[in-house]
Structure 1
Amino acid sequence: MIRSRQARSTLVGLAAGAVVVGLLPAAPALAHSDAPTVRVIADGLLNPRGVTIGRDGAVYVAEAGAGGPMAAEVPGGGGPSGSTLCFGETGGVTKVQHGSQRRIVNGLPSYSGAGENGTCDPAAIGFAATGPHDVVADHPNTMLIAMGLGAPPEVRDTIAQDISFAREFGTVKRVRGYGGERTIADLAAYEGANDPDGGGPDANPYSVAALRGGATLAVDAGANALLRVGANGRISTVATFPAAVRPVPALTCPAPPDFPPAGTPIPSQAVPTSVVVGPDGAYYVGQLTGFPFAPGEARVFRVDPRTGHVSTYARGFSAIVDIAFGPDRSLYVLEIARAGLLDAEVCGNLPGRLVKVSHGKKSEVRVPGLEVPGGLAVAKDGTIYVSNRSILPGGAGQLLKVTPRRGH
């Protein structure tokens, strides 16, 4: 069995497959808001993840890419021993505005697992790629990008001896549209030197948020930490998120033969995946949870920006991949897999879920066709943008425009 830190890899970073579980007894039923209007406004996207709305009103989507033709073996400790990863510069950012889409950032690092034949055949790779995981358009034509990793920093550094651009994984980059980029923070190196949660070095930057004065918030899903990057590039720890013991859930399909019985208690990592600054100025962090990925166990945390104190804002979710506040101060929570993360992987249960939290009550926003979504943004007029099919290969990714019914 794969260690809990490695097991978070397949759908949140490392494409070198974790094969584990899925489904706890269902949470209490949510109320349903009236069905919104849903339209695909961009397609052909390569593993689309984080979504943001720029000051120009355009929607920007981070694409983790589709790996590439450069093969590298995973050193021991960074994933399944001897597995092959496929590297390329296929990550980027797509801009959607006025009914058209355009790839405005190209050539960012990306990797995915090898095909069934163990090679980096372009036709067989690209599932659950790791690369640009989130984007924030903090200034006109300028973006912050979280570059995923999903491994200890020394694994990255070993691979970078042969594939130089691999050193860009595990960082936060500042990129100018149509050319120009630089690394502003190496979160993987910080994790290797500090290990804030004490669980052993493991880095996977997954979400960023811009702060006033040029500082940046970053969630590291591998480090179980919320970090602050100052305008001068100095990294500090704002908060860490604790592990918990969670029961192995039952699958909706036959479990693998070496799978632990349902109900087996397993230490489970927090795995934060998203951060936003709330209307009250506090930091809000959504968590995926680690193996055994028990549905109903994920929470949204509130972090006091002055003290770093962590409290629970909302609970009872499954595999949170992104969060966003709406103009009415409601919180929208995006689940990558409503039936459980590993039920999606093992049993093929792909539907995701979008939940609205308002005045302490949860209601589902029904989004037809929502499958393993990856990112979320809400405009000032209440329009919701969701990246869809965020881990499927072959350019299957989409950007959905979700227009709620008036009054909802």
Structure 2
Amino acid sequence: MGAVLTVWRVSSGTDWRGHSLRTLLLALLGLGLVLGAPAGGQSCPATVVPLVQGLSNPRGLALGPDGALYLAEVGTPETGGRVSRLWPDGRWEVLLSGLPFFTHWTGETVGTTALALRRGDLYLLQGEGPGPLASALLRLPAGARTPEKVADLFAFFFAERYDPVTALQTNPTASPTVESNPFALLSDEATDQFFVVDSAANALVAVSPEGSITRLAVWPDNPVPTGLVRGPDGALLIALFSPFPFAPGSGRVDRLAPDGRLRPALTGLTMPIGLAVDRQGRLIVLEFAQGFQVASGFHPRSGRLLRLEGALRTVLADHLPYPTAVLAAPDGTFYLSLNGAFAPPGSGQVVRLIPCDRG
């Protein structure tokens, strides 16, 4: 990866793979990860434990039934992307490497963006780019070293765009340009299918294990869907990053009810990029940044992790450097991917966040 990979884990004493606890705290301070009281909302400062460092554009996370953490990296032009696994005892292994990598004209790096587990197989969501694996849902069977394509999202949207009836239904004012950049993936046991949000197509689709695709929702106002989770009431919740130029407070979460009705559920967010539900059924929202300027880009170290409970918004963490994924663990903690975009190669990391009031 062009950087030294460091795996951090807690031992019985104060030693962290050769580093004292004091050294670790100083390092966290340098990274801006010792979290104080944020501005706005109720504060619940969290403890952040680094798990893996030296990553390049880390994105999607998945937790196996055995406690192993799977993570995807978009990577670099030289290395491509990769998928790795971190075992609870600290063992680290690379499952896939050399996955397709693409740099968008905006400067965003695109590749493997999301992961999911289903019946022992690992599923990968590949973003836009050239090549046969781009804009696709891939499957890595247990024990295999080569992924196989399950569904081609670009082909689906291409066929939809050039079907005159479907095109008028989905976006009657759009140009004939076809775009597809899948970003979030949900393996849904209740319906035995996958749900995928595509940030470029501004659509939510369902994908069967055999690869058939069904469109569930489309947003003609280009809000850039990025996050996806099933709520405790059975509805699908979708994070909408917001249209360019990403004005503060213009992001939202939409709710797709089981009967197909799509409505805004939560407004006033700033660049929501990931969603989760904690073990008490509360919605967790990950915000990528708190501002954007055309000349300088996204505000650095301004990401936040929010917990929503009715009208109460609790800031669990702020000053996060370009967070790209959040995963809720059964023990009430969260895993985060940091420096997952617009960051130098090797600066990415995955951390474990422990809320101050974890029940």
TM-score higher than 0.5 here? yes
Q: Could you say which residue in structure 2 is the equivalent of 1:72?
A: none
* Aligned pairs, number: 305
2:40 is the alignment partner of 1:29? yes
Q: 1:104 aligns with which of 81, 90, 95?
A: 95
Q: Could you say which residue in structure 2 is the equivalent of 1:375?
A: 325
Q: Matches of 1:353 and 1:405 in 2, distance apart? A: 15
Q: Is the 8 A contact 1:66 1:393 kept in 2?
A: no
Q: Quick one: structure 1 residues 342 and 103, their matched pair in 2 at CA, closer, same or farther if it must change by over 3 Å? A: farther
Q: Quick one: structure 1 residues 358 and 204, their matched pair in 2 at CA, closer, same or farther if it must change by over 3 Å? A: same
Taking every aligned residue pair, what percent have the same amino acid on both sides? 29
Q: Partner amino acid for 1:31?
A: Q
Q: Could you say which residue in structure 2 is the equivalent of 1:384?
A: 334
Offset of residue 107 of structure 1:
2.1
Please list every run of 5 or more consecutive structure 1 residues that lacks an aligned counterpart in the other structure. Answer: 1-27, 69-88, 115-126, 150-155, 161-165, 244-268
Offset of residue 407 of structure 1:
4.7
Which moves more between the two structures, 322-331 or 192-201? 192-201
Q: Quick one: structure 1 residues 113 and 309, their matched pair in 2 at CA, closer, same or farther if it must change by over 3 Å? A: closer
- Within a 5 Å distance, the mapping from 1:7-406 to structure 2 comes to 29-33=40-44, 35-68=45-78, 90-98=80-88, 99-112=90-103, 128-140=108-120, 142-149=121-128, 160=130, 166-176=131-141, 179-195=145-161, 197-198=170-171, 199-200=174-175, 201-212=178-189, 214-243=192-221, 269-305=222-258, 307-337=259-289, 339-342=290-293, 345-346=296-297, 348-367=299-318, 370-391=320-341, 392-406=343-357
Q: Matches of 1:347 and 1:309 in 2, distance apart? A: 33
Q: Matches of 1:353 and 1:344 in 2, distance apart? A: 23
Q: Quick one: structure 1 residues 407 and 278, their matched pair in 2 at CA, closer, same or farther if it must change by over 3 Å? A: same
Q: Quick one: structure 1 residues 138 and 273, their matched pair in 2 at CA, closer, same or farther if it must change by over 3 Å? A: same
Q: Partner amino acid for 1:29?
A: G
Other structure's SS at 1:189 match: helix
Q: Quick one: structure 1 residues 64 and 105, their matched pair in 2 at CA, closer, same or farther if it must change by over 3 Å? A: same
Q: Partner amino acid for 2:331?
A: D
Offset of residue 176 of structure 1:
3.2
Q: Matches of 1:222 and 1:345 in 2, distance apart? A: 22
Other structure's SS at 1:134 match: strand
Q: Is the 8 A contact 1:51 1:134 kept in 2?
A: yes
Larger relative contact order (CA 8 Å, sep ≥ 6): 1
